[in-house]
């Protein structure tokens, strides 16, 4: 599995990566991006299997990134990893085409559960 | 905050330790500190200010330097020596400050609830602002914890929420980030 981690916080990208490794999911290659615009540019070249993205980011936030991705016909599995996830955000995420949304903090079991369901 | 809004529930120590364990990926022990205990010395404290969506002060997390430095280091698996250096200098070095900002940003969830106004992190300040001192003195919802993060120095932190019936101080500064 190739994973693109999108978060403006270096520490949070590190945590997501650490938890991915602890989860037992097979990650062959991981790439990082610091905002939606950078991630959008990386998708064509990197062709990830899974995108794990923060919601609140500068330049292009997570929901704008997801909308732009789906608008160009890209159906890569997409999950939000956010510090807050209200019912409204959850609804908007799923309507826009996300497979899941999980709140920070999260543990390896929870990540394995949602990613396992999103990426066959 | 409208009148009649219920007070925020303060998390019990087990909730704090589970939350921090998931966040920091480390073993955590949190114990409740006596209600009569004062806040840490302002000169050696770091305060996270939480505001409601209208900018009104809604809560705070006051931490002593050992907790803030240790949590910031544990988040990124930084060595204990960096925490010890920060304690010697008496301040959070830049990387610890950045990481601790993430910690207190996510800790907003500890003060969340289904029937209380949404909170967001407004800023992280060195010391304890006067309005937070006042809130701690008056807040019905407040709790202090002694927190041990395995491999790092232990410290203390306090969570508090503004009284729901009180019109609190309006903050005028923009969010530091996000």
CB atoms within 10 A of CB B177: 16
Residues of A in contact with B149 (CB under 8 A): none
Question: Would the pLDDT of A90 be above 60?
Answer: yes
Least confident of A82-86, A101-105, B132-136, B143-147: A82-86
Listed as ranges, residues in chain B with pLDDT below 50 are 167-178
pLDDT digits (tens, 9 = 90+) for A20-37: 988 999 889 999 999 999
List the 101-120 stretch of A: residues with Cβ below 8 A of B.
Answer: 103-107
pTM of the model: 0.82
A87 to chain B: closest CA residue: B114
Which of A102, A104, A111 should one mutate to test binding to chain B, selecting the residue with the greatest count of B CBs within 10 A?
A104
Instruction: Check B22 against A106: CB less than 8 A apart.
Output: yes
Q: How many CA atoms lie within 13 A of B4 on its CB side?
A: 0
**B165 vs A50, residue with greater confidence:** A50
Q: Which two tokens stand for residue A20?
A: 């991915």
For chain A, say whether B18 makes contact (Cβ under 8 Å). no
Q: Three-state SS for A52? A: strand
Q: What is the pLDDT of residue B170?
A: 47
Q: What is the mean pLDDT of residues A79-103?
A: 91
- Specify the 3-state DSSP secondary structure of A59: coil
| A83 has a pLDDT exceeding 90 | no
Q: What is the pLDDT of residue A16?
A: 92
| Token digits of residue B69 | 């430095």
DSSP letter, residue A24:
T
């Amino acid at each position: 599995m190739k994973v693109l981690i999108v978060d403006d916080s270096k520490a949070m990208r590190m945590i997501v990566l650490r938890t991915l490794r602890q989860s037992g999911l097979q990650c062959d290659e991981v790439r990082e991006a610091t905002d939606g615009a950078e991630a959008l540019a990386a998708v064509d070249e990197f062709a990830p299997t899974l995108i794990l993205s923060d919601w609140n980011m500068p330049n292009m936030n997570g929901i704008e990134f997801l909308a732009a991705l789906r608008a160009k016909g890209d159906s890569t599995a997409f999950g939000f990893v956010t510090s807050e996830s209200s019912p409204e955000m959850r609804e908007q995420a799923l309507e826009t085409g996300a497979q899941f949304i999980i709140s920070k903090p999260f543990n390896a079991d929870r990540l394995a559960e949602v990613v396992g369901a999103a990426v066959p | 905050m409208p009148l009649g809004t219920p007070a925020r529930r303060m998390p019990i120590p087990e909730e704090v330790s589970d939350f921090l364990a998931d966040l920091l990926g480390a073993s955590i022990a949190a114990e409740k500190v006596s209600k009569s205990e004062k806040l840490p010395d302002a000169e050696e404290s770091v305060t996270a200010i939480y505001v409601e969506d209208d900018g009104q002060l809604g809560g705070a997390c006051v931490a002593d330097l050992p907790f803030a430095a240790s949590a910031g280091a544990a988040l990124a698996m930084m060595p204990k020596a960096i925490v010890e250096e920060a304690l010697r200098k008496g301040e959070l070095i830049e990387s610890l400050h950045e990481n601790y900002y993430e910690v207190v940003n996510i800790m907003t969830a500890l003060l969340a609830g289904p029937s209380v106004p949404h909170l967001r992190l407004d800023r992280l300040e060195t010391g304890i602002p006067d309005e937070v001192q006042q809130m701690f003195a008056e807040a019905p919802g407040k709790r202090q914890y002694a927190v041990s993060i395995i491999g790092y120095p232990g410290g203390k932190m306090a969570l508090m929420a503004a009284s729901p019936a009180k019109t609190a101080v309006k903050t005028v500064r923009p969010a530091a980030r996000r």
